[in-house]
Structure 1
Amino acid sequence: MHDLLKEMGKEIVRRTFPEEPGKRSRLWMQQDVCHVLENLTGTEKVEVINFTLSGLKEIQFTTAAFAKMTKLRVLIINKPQMQCEVLISDDFKFHYDELRYLAWYDYPLKLLPSDFECKNLVSFRMPNSHLTQLWEGNKVFENLKYMQLDGSKYLTETPDFSRVTNLKYLFLSDCTQLCKIHPSLGDLDKLEMLGLENCINLEHFPGIGQLVSLKTLSLSGCSKLEKFPDISQHMPCLWKLCLDGTAITELPSSIGYATELEILDLTNCRKLRSLPSSICELTLLETLSHSGCSDLGKCEVNSGSLDALPRTSDQLCSLKQLVLKNCSSLRALPALPSTLIMVVDASNCESLEDIIPQSIFSPYRMSLFANCFKLTKFQSRMERDLQSMAADVDQELWRSLYEEQKPEVPIAFSSVFPGSGIPDWFEHRSEGHEINIEVSQNWYASDFLGFALSAVVAPEKEPLTSGWITYCDLGCGALDSKLKSNGIFSFSFSDKFTIGLEHITIVSDHMWLVYVPSFIGCASEKWSYIKFSFRTDRESCIVKRCGVCPVYTKSNSDDESNSDEGNPRGRDVDDLHERRLEDNTIGRSQKKRKVE
């Protein structure tokens, strides 16, 4: 309906002067525009010109052709990829007094007309232009709100913005020769979006303290920019700051003034050496990405040098993702908030040696440590930390999340790190991808929390380069006296590592560790066996071995009595590997035993 109305409107305009397009208010058909420009038939009635230079070998723009178009409000000239030679003299001019919207793609001249000063102009778009500069001096553009010059590869500097007081959007990405930003840019208190991506010759950026309306700032790919300016006052609107691919060595401590910041991208800031402790004042921060920060390792916190992230990072209470891939100097992770951070990715951090337990063993968290081969210290205390974490899982909250089937909610806990063997404290271990266990009638005691599962995943024929999805199929049943199964219950869940492990090459064994709470449905006294089967979604990614360990609440009475008496399971998680049961209670592994 909208398109139909638009076509009807165009037809009404065309019929006003069917043989004299220069007298119409709007021109959009290529043949009509060319007729007006070639025959100099434009009049004061023309208000809008909007056409595309397609299928033309050449077109000529002259001052004379526009001389009578004194009421021109909109001028849009689109140029597709195909070549069309534009013939235009350096002294070309047109009437600007009434101009509101100017969009000229691939503008061919190096300069705008010397008297170019459009007081009514609202939108100025000249992407891929040949301009070397915009205007000289302090000109008035009091109504200008939108300016786009993306891809203007000859532009070397921005103009004086002192009297462009209402500018809201400024886009200068891929201006590869841009090396100077006029300091007046920092005074644009109505500016909301500023894009300077891939301005590879930009070395200095003015202060932004007066940009109180700024919402997003992108300096991505400004590879010569070595310093991000101090922030002199509170930034009440800034929620996204992209500094990825810059040459900055540090963030100013004044970053704490950006209290509304939700996204901070420092990807591939290879010279970044430190993060200020004030980053912990960013309580709304959801995504902090450090991938490729190869020099990041020492941070100054309270005048103390640490080869780690700030230890006060637990104050980042809204952080949902912490990405630290390829930070080759990072040796330790501090304690992280026990809630909300759902993804911790420190893959390819080759110097990483230790992790504070809360950084990995936290409910609802996925942690990725692919190719962190020095990460061995935490494995000695893994059993204790896992049991402590399991006891902290809010069963009712997890049940509600599970029942809503939210795809972004991970299994209660999961992690991937280098390893070729199932830990000794796993009571049930098996070569291959399947494991069966028999359970006694009272196995599902009141202190049963859930299952810890583990699988060793490895590339079989070629390196893994795009991650994988690990699946676990769980089946429960009861055997009658004739060893026939009945009352089969099955359940399947998966853990997706395809996103976090993108662009990470894995050539060796890695261990998948996951915790599943007890409510999943298999916890019932009527079952006599439980079968676990592991698989991945990659033909070249196999499961070499697997393990299952039931997790129970630690009981003080167990410790005091040192006895199985009164304890329906006869063990707790701290002595699981020492106190094996010899009978058919939960715990007897039936490796790949087929249940009829």
Structure 2
Amino acid sequence: MRSLQLLYLCKTAIRELPSSIDLESVEILDLSNCFKFEKFSENGANMKSLRQLVLTNTAIKELPTGIANWESLRTLDLSKCSKFEKFPEIQGNMTSLKKLLLNNTAIKGLPDSIGYLKSLEILNVSDCSKFENFPEKGGNMKSLKELSLKNTAIKDLPDSIGDLESLWFLDLTNCSKFEKFPEKGGNMKSLRVLYLNDTAIKDLPDSIGDLESLEFLDLSDCSKFEKFPEKGGNMKSLKKLSLKNTAIKDLPYSIRDLESLWFLDLSDCSKFEKFPEKGGNMKSLMDLRLKNTAIKDLPNNISGLKFLETLNLGGCSDLWEGLIRRLIRSALALPPRLVEIHNRGVKCWKLNAVIPESSGILEWIRYHILGSEVTAKLPMNWYEDLDFPGFVVSCVYRDIHSRMNAVLHAGVSAIVILNIWLDQVWVWWYPKIAIPKEHHHKSTHINASFKSKGINIKKCGINLIFAGDQQNHMPMLEHPRNSGDNGSALQDTNGNVHGLIKMMNTTIFPR
């Protein structure tokens, strides 16, 4: 069997390779899921042609000393070998090894001689719960591209990590003892993906800004992380940044310089109170998540986020009503491409709220008519006007099922002394981008009508919003009626009405 090149013994009951087999010509040896396989015989040292060795899910405890002779080996897979505890010293002959998988083993560390693996591109030590130290000379692996240390007991990385000039992927997810990213880590000029989520990290060094190729940075669920570095704004290639569920309170001024950033997640950052005023300069931002933060307002220049399509404000109780008020006053212009706004855990592209009439909101909703239907004339070339982002629809209604009682208690008896119904104001932001393109050239009016069981519509209105205009544009109100479908519609130049969207009956109930 001297010409044997491929040997597949996976899922067999084999315990070891018989010495009678000549392995000198074998190029691929697969022993995966041979749960009883424990060791190599001495003839294993003669596998000079071996290119791929798969030992996944075996009972092997160690590799033979002759491993140094496997000079053709490119892939070594020891994943899920739960009894494998120690990787042998490298003598310098395994110069062809490109892929080393040690995940889910009992390994505690790696020898310094691992640095001799000059061709190694992928090293996976993830889910090795006893793995504590990355070798100092590991930085000598100049070809290393992917390093996974996920779910290990590692506490830090040596400064030599900065010498991994080819590394583009580094995963430290759920390394609960990892507290500090090395200062010289900023030297990894090729790094594109960095996972630090679920670690004990408190901050990042300023040198993080030197990661000029970094595109994805995940710090989510780092409960001790409080401050994003000022020089973090130097990461010009950064596209996705997750700070979800951290202790961060604010973002530095330099955040505006992240010109490639399109995804920013600050969800569940309960201490985060203010989005930076200059944050509106992030020209590429498409998805901004501020769910369950302590934010109270949005910056005036948020309209500068020209590509923003999704804004998640769910659970931001201090923000919502103020946002509605500012929008209706035209003191706040929303980004022109904003289609989805998430609120109260519901995904919707309609910014809406129910506010008591006594709140004074009607001071800004100036143009109402009696009844449940209103039509307004759209401005000329409205679909091309960059200063016209959309309009606000509103109505004043009374829910006949909701009333407020004042009760006087006297001893064991109670007397109702006050029984009143409260009027509510429902306001709804409708961006023009939500209007189908087929209506753009032929639509001249916008129509809104309101109807629902148990609801008494008293009056309604439409306000056209113009960027930078402190006063609402006064629309031309036409055809007031007290009936009709509860929805919005467009009217074209021929007087034909095109249905746009049907409102759920529940959208005008207090929520």
The answer to whether TM tops 0.5 is yes
What is the aligned partner in structure 1 of residue 379 from structure 2?
Answer: 444
Shift of 1:44: 2.0
Q: Supply the AA of the counterpart residue of 1:75.
A: L
- Asked if the contact 1:333–1:359 (Cα under 8 Å) also holds between the matched residues in 2, the reply is no
Match of 2:326 in 1: 381
* Worse-superposed segment, 208-217 or 422-431: 422-431
The reply to whether residue 61 of structure 1 matches residue 16 of structure 2 is yes
Distance in 2 separating the partners of 1:380 and 1:288: 30
CA displacement 1:410-442 (0-9 Å, x = unmatched): 53x7564794339543457899xx9742246xx
Question: 2:404 maps to what in 1?
Answer: none
Q: Please give the alpha-carbon distance, in whole angstroms, between the structure 2 residues aligned to 1:528 and 1:164.
A: 71
Q: Letter of the aligned partner of 1:98 in structure 2?
A: S
Give the structure 2 partner of residue 253 of structure 1: 206
Q: Does 1:140 align with 2:93?
A: yes
Work out whether 1:205 is the aligned partner of 2:163.
no
Give 1:165 shift: 0.9
Distance 1:446 1:59, change over 3 A: closer
1:353 maps to 2:296: yes
Are the equivalent residues in 2 in contact too, given 1:320–1:342 (CA < 8 A)? yes
Gaps of 5+ in 2: 345-351, 396-424, 453-458, 487-496, 498-511
Structure 2 counterpart of 1:420, from 322, 347, 354:
354
Residues 1:196 and 2:149 are matched in the alignment: yes
After the TM superposition, which residues 446-595 of structure 1 pair with which residues of structure 2 at under 5 Å, given as runs?
449=388, 451-453=390-392, 513-516=429-432, 520=437, 530-531=447-448, 548-552=462-466, 574-576=470-472, 585-586=476-477, 590=481, 592-594=483-485
1:225 to 2:178 alignment = yes
Report the TM-score when normalising by structure 1.
0.63
CA distance in 2, matches of 1:344, 1:239: 21
The separation in 2 between residues aligned to 1:534 and 1:223, in whole angstroms, is 55
Give yes or no for the alignment of 1:243 onto 2:184.
no
- What is the CA-CA distance between 1:168 and the residue it aligns to? 0.8
Cα distance between partner residues in 2 of 1:511 and 1:110: 68
Q: Classify 1:593/1:379 alpha carbon distance in 2 versus 1 (closer, same or farther; 3 Å).
A: closer
Is the Cα–Cα contact under 8 Å of residues 330 and 466 in structure 2 kept in the other structure?
no
In the other structure, the counterpart of 2:252 is 310
User: Following the alignment from structure 1 to structure 2, what is the Cα–Cα distance between the partners of residues 210 and 107?
Assistant: 34
Letter paired with 1:273: E
What's the offset of the Cα at 1:109? 2.2
Pairwise CA distance, 1:244: 1.0
Tell me what 1:558 maps to: none
TM-score norm. by structure 2 comes to: 0.73
Spell out, residue by residue over 1:474-502, the C-alpha distance to the aligned partner (whole angstroms, 9 max, x if none).
xxxxxxxxxxxxxxxxxxxxxxxxxxxxx
1:120 corresponds in structure 2 to 72
Partners of 1:534 and 1:389 lie apart in 2 by 28
Deviation at 1:321, TM superposition (A): 1.0
1:177 paired residue number: 130
Which secondary structure does the structure 1 equivalent of 2:151 belong to?
A: coil
Instruction: Verify: 1:372 aligned to 2:316, yes or no.
Output: yes
Q: Which amino acid aligns with 2:472?
A: L
Report if aligned partners of 1:249, 1:271 keep a CA contact under 8 Å in 2.
yes
Residue 97 of structure 1: aligned partner: 48
**In the alignment, which residue of structure 1 is the partner of 2:6?**
48
Q: Kindly indicate whether the alpha-carbon contact (under 8 Å) linking 1:429 and 1:435 is maintained by their aligned counterparts in 2.
A: no
Distance in 1 between residues matched to 2:85 and 2:146, nearest whole Å: 23
CA distance in 2, matches of 1:589, 1:109: 83
The 1:388/1:88 distance shift into structure 2, 3 A limit, reads closer
Q: Taking structure 1 as reference, are residues 574 and 203 closer, same or farther at Cα in structure 2, changes over 3 Å only?
A: same
2:490 matched residue in structure 1:
none
Contact 1:187–1:210 (CA under 8 A) maintained in structure 2: yes
Does the residue aligned with 2:432 lie in a helix, a strand or coil? strand
Cα distance in 1, alignment partners of residues 484 and 451 from structure 2:
15
Q: 1:101 to 1:357 in 2, by over 3 A?
A: same
Q: Give how far 1:586 is off.
A: 2.7
Measure, in 1, the Cα distance between the counterparts of 2:102 and 2:394.
53
Give the 3-state SS of the residue equivalent to 2:104 in structure 1. coil
Matched to 2:117, the amino acid is V
Quote how far apart the aligned CAs of 1:97 are: 2.1
Contact 2:273–2:295 (Cα < 8 Å) also in 1: yes
CA contact (8 A) 2:94 2:117 kept: yes
Could you say if the C-alpha distance between residues 454 and 352 of structure 1 is closer, same or farther in structure 2, counting changes exceeding 3 Å?
farther
Tell whether the 8 Å contact from 1:61 to 1:88 is kept in structure 2 after alignment.
Answer: yes
Q: Structure 1's 121 and 533: CA in aligned 2 closer, same or farther, altered over 3 A?
A: farther
Q: Could you tell me whether the CA contact under 8 Å between 2:101 and 2:124 is conserved in 1? A: yes
CA deviation after TM superposition for structure 1 residue 378, in Å: 5.0
Superposed displacement of residue 388, structure 1: 4.7
* 1:455 CA drift (Å): 8.7
How many Å separate the matches in 1 of 2:149 and 2:87? 16
Check the 8 A contact 1:338/1:358 in 2, yes or no. Answer: no
- 1:348 offset after TM fit, Å? 0.9
Shift of 1:237: 1.7
Task: Give the aligned residue type for 1:451.
Answer: G
Q: Any idea what the Cα deviations from partners look like across 1:210-244, whole Å, max 9, x if unmatched?
A: 11111111111112111111226643321111111
Q: Report if the CA contact (8 A) 1:107-1:131 is conserved.
A: no
The 1-side partners of 2:282 and 2:133 are apart by 45
User: What is the SS of the residue equivalent to 2:390?
Assistant: strand
Name the SS of the counterpart of 1:142 in structure 2. coil
